[in-house]
Structure 1
Amino acid sequence: MRVAGLGFRKAAGVASLADALARAGRADALATAPDKAGAPAIRDLARATGLPLLAVEVAGTATPTRSARVAALYGTGSLAEAAALAALAPGARLVAPRTTSQDGMATCAIAEGDPA
């Protein structure tokens, strides 16, 4: 299974999230932090793509990239990478590292593994 983890700014629209997802690659599900899962943009993306949306706890998930801002807010280096990994069972691996939408409003990373 492939999960696309998404991180995004409050002002991001569905176009920003869709662009980040397109740049990262194919996925079977979307994942983000619980506080972001209710945002209209990600809910619209889930509806448009037909992919399930998973709200996952990301704190403490090790990621290859690191943002000081994300670390302070979420307890992990990259919300996109951590969400993708946390949605899958231990042993999941990133197959597409964090990529950013053209407008810089959203990030996406793809992990592959067994469902958690």
Structure 2
Amino acid sequence: MDIFWIGLGGGVGALARYIIGKAFNSSSIPWGTFIVNVLGSFLLGLMVGVNIDNRSYAFLGIGILGGFTTFSTFHVELLTIWKDQKKSAIFYLFLTYITGICSAIVGLWITAS
């Protein structure tokens, strides 16, 4: 049954990622991908912090956030930017990793309070 919930959540997350990507990926920096990855890191930090049950984690963490966040798209976009705008690519790389890690920490911190 977990497979069903993971698949359903993955579809929901992928659709949300697509909508946000279309809305925000119009500049040289793909802000839509940045937003979904940082928001996903934050929400996953919250989930880990509240120690949700396995079935909920399967649907929300693996399914929705797994479909929502996108490590592979981030790297393809990063390499595309690198071709023409190396400084922008370096900025995007560090901004995404640092903000993503900090967002996950904030999510954990909020649940520890």
State TM-score, norm by structure 2.
0.25
Between Structure 1 and Structure 2, whose CA radius of gyration is higher?
Answer: 2
